[in-house]
Structure 1
Amino acid sequence: MQAPSFDIFCRVVDNFGDIGVCWRLARRLAHMPARHRVRLWVDDLASFARIQPDVNPHAPRQELCAVDIVHWTSAPPALAPHDVVIEAFACHPPKAFLERMAASNSLWINLEYLSAEDWVESCHALPSPQPNGLRKAFFFPGFTPATGGLLREDGLIQARDDWLARPAQRRELQRALGVPDDFLARMTEGSKQVLLFAYPDAPAPALIRALDTPEAPSLVLVPAGVCPGLRRGRHGNILVHEFPFLDQAGFDRLLWSSDLNCVRGEDSLVRALWAGKPLLWHIYPQEDHAHLAKLHAFLERSPYPAMVKRSHEAWNQPDATLASDALAAALHAERFSEWTRAGAQWCSSLAGRPDLASSLVEFCKHAGR
């Protein structure tokens, strides 16, 4: 299997992380030197269009960025499977498609959610033989060489550095997002730009209180509909400004140009890591607080100082006072500099390893022999 072709199945559950990961993976595979043929099956094209405006939410089939996009409905077209079929996050391809996969001897990959937990290393790339003879394997993204790695396209870090080398682009982006000129004129060297992209139960008011100091105003940018309980507008020396959803390239630039990135889910976490800036991860809440074990595993893998780890833990708890105190300490100038150095260090370390798509292709080549 020299240059395998790929089907990727994606169900949009309740946020944009699933389609965000799948769309980045599809484009990455399609634009690798081998130019893999990629077909992306998506059940919710309207949600897809919010992060990729060129998507036609009514088209049964379309091509964008060298990726064949198929609307995954209850009566999907009877297309021949590609060499490798990826079910993202256990979404399970249609029964008839599975039968065609068995007939064509396709390799079935279960792409799992990102986790920093120790058990991931022992489960990564494990085979899962199927009764009908299909070859299936689990593939885990992760933070160590014993996992599949993280999604990262070629030249990403250089593109980020080129963007940051032209400071005027940050101001142009702020204006494009509709930030008032009079507030931008007040922002000084000590001001912070913060991206707030969290789930509704995040203690967002605690973040505002921690940021609100008399020394310099700060700008908090919130995507439309996010943290609806947080009032938009002025909060003392803070401006909370809502902006429309951006495409993925625009979202990356926003992460690069922000001083603190408060992100949620999987796709935005990985992109914030590549920004190399201080970040706060609001992890997807699960029953019995299972998400907190995942958060702790992530923090243990990180080079973050103790006060940053405490801020992450507080950010994922309902106690607003705890979050406000922890964030105020972490945002103190000297400690924030430590946070900044740790973020840059971890980004550099992770970027030295193979990316997820490259690891996946190599695995499929060997598994297909």
Structure 2
Amino acid sequence: MTSQNNPERWDIFCAVVDNYGDIGVTWRLAKQLSAKHRIAITLWVDDLKSFSHILPALDPALPSQIHFGVTINQWSDPLPILYQAGNVLIEAFACELPEQVKTRLISMHQASKLDPNAERPPLWLNLEYLSAESWVEGCHGLPSMQASGLKKYFYFPGFTAKTGGLICENELFEKRDAWQREPQNRLDLFSSLGLSGITADDEVVSVFSYESSTLQALCEAWQNSEHTTHALFPKGRSLNSLQPILPCSVETLTAGTQIKLGNLVIHILPMTDQEGYDKLLWSCDFNIVRGEDSFLRAQWAAKPFIWHIYAQEDDYHLIKLDAFMQLYCNNLPPELAKSWKALNLAFNKEQQELTVSHWQKLNLIGLPLLRHAKQWPIDAINDVDLVSRLVQFVKNS
């Protein structure tokens, strides 16, 4: 048993991909391991500038700093700070470890074979991407023998009891429910973000997606609808899809910009930290999200959503999308499940007319879908979150 005077030390390596996805998940993991389990975490990140967008207090110029109890080190080649092996080493999403780290692991492994009293190498884990596919259960926790003789274990997050679970902070759902019980909270949040003109009865949609022609089609439908829709966009990739209907270039848009097109009002969001993004998702009537981190946070928000999944060769992403939709819609009324799945599929296939048609058919703020969105997080967490399962996995290994 590790004492408080000699805490466990874990290293996590993360290569920032697509700005916020991988680092978003990894940062949540690091914070929870530190706060909930009192583990000394060192997080090595190759792009501190992108990281600072979701952690504004981070100084990209510093090679080492501490935030929320986590030591954050610049990952460069060579490493600017000495790597000292701890109890566990996690490579996030199959990132390639630095050569000097792998050399150190091999050296420790060889020494431990010659001397039983020598320091053993850390438990080596690869944190994989989240998937709802059935094969994940059979691969979760399996070891892979490396050429060096070291073992690397594959840790798969997932939605069932036989997987690695889902990242969810303690009391997150209670905080969300308290926030959503008070309607003024969302109006105050919008005001603090510089979003003006939103009333309590307006429909509000947040959009954090990849480029997609279906975004323009949806915006044109909202523009011509009978009620006001406020679409909240961060400055990023999704806005490129709207260039044909914007009165200015995407490059000139800044946080706080407001563009009115008929009954559609487009708002440009400022960057926010992870807690602020959670509150944004809690406050919108519908969320369009991408990747992994925002995808899961949209589920925890207990609001209807579209998942814009990252496109893969041979449309394999559609298989992953279907696997999740089958799980998510399991307890939905058949007609509602059919409509929600059709909307997500049409959006991801960039079928513009079908996307608009399914959007208009789906009762976006109807009670059945809202009730399901609220119950789903309780069912999906399966009693035990990812961090708790991960710590137990390490103990068992």
**Which TM-score tier does this pair reach, normalised by the shorter chain?**
over 0.9
The answer to whether 1:277 aligns with 2:303 is yes
Q: Is the Cα–Cα contact under 8 Å of residues 105 and 121 in structure 2 kept in the other structure?
A: yes
Residue 352 (structure 1) shift: 4.1
Q: Which amino acid aligns with 2:360?
A: A
The answer to whether 1:30 aligns with 2:68 is no
Residue 188 (structure 1) shift: 4.8
1:166 paired residue number: 182
The answer to whether 1:39 aligns with 2:55 is no
Residue 169 (structure 1) shift: 1.6
Q: Is the Cα–Cα contact under 8 Å of residues 274 and 347 in structure 1 kept in the other structure?
A: yes
SS at match of 1:227: helix
Question: Which of structures 1 and 2 has the larger relative contact order (alpha carbons within 8 angstroms, sep 6+)?
Answer: 1
Residue 318 (structure 1) shift: 2.0
SS at match of 1:234: strand
Residue 254 (structure 1) shift: 0.3
Q: Is the Cα–Cα contact under 8 Å of residues 232 and 269 in structure 2 kept in the other structure?
A: yes
Deviations 1:174-207 (A, max 9, x none): 1112112xx22xx353x21111110012511232
Residue 234 (structure 1) shift: 1.4
Root-mean-square deviation over aligned CA pairs? 1.7
Which residue of 228, 251, 254 corresponds with 1:217?
228
Distance in 1 between residues matched to 2:147 and 2:195, nearest whole Å: 58
Residue 288 (structure 1) shift: 1.4
2:281 paired residue number: 255
Residue 319 (structure 1) shift: 1.9
1:113 paired residue number: 129
The answer to whether 1:245 aligns with 2:256 is no
Unaligned runs of 5+ in 1: none
Change (3 A) 1:366 1:128: same
Q: Is the Cα–Cα contact under 8 Å of residues 308 and 339 in structure 1 kept in the other structure?
A: no
Q: Which amino acid aligns with 1:244?
A: P
Deviations 1:115-159 (A, max 9, x none): 111111100000112233323200001111111111011111111
SS at match of 2:24: helix
Q: Which amino acid aligns with 2:211?
A: P
The answer to whether 1:342 aligns with 2:372 is yes
SS at match of 1:31: helix
The answer to whether 1:6 aligns with 2:22 is no
Distance in 1 between residues matched to 2:281 and 2:354, nearest whole Å: 26
Change (3 A) 1:21 1:194: same
Which residue of 194, 197, 208 corresponds with 1:178?
194
SS at match of 2:145: coil
TM-score normalised according to structure 1 size: 0.93
Which residue of 351, 357, 362 corresponds with 1:319?
351
TM-score normalised according to structure 2 size: 0.86
Distance in 2 between residues matched to 1:95 and 1:74, nearest whole Å: 9
Which residue of 12, 16, 20 corresponds with 2:20?
16
SS at match of 1:346: helix
SS at match of 1:121: helix
Q: Is the Cα–Cα contact under 8 Å of residues 304 and 364 in structure 2 kept in the other structure?
A: no
Which residue of 264, 272, 290 corresponds with 2:290?
264
Which residue of 116, 127, 139 corresponds with 1:123?
139
Q: Is the Cα–Cα contact under 8 Å of residues 216 and 237 in structure 1 kept in the other structure?
A: yes
How many residues of Structure 1 are paired with residues of Structure 2 in the alignment? 359
Q: Which amino acid aligns with 1:346?
A: W
Distance in 1 between residues matched to 2:19 and 2:363, nearest whole Å: 29
- Decide which moves more: 158-167 or 98-107: 98-107
Unaligned runs of 5+ in 2: 109-119, 247-257
Matches within 5 A, 1:128-143: 128-143=144-159
Rg bigger for which structure? 2
Distance in 2 between residues matched to 1:298 and 1:62, nearest whole Å: 38
SS at match of 1:73: coil
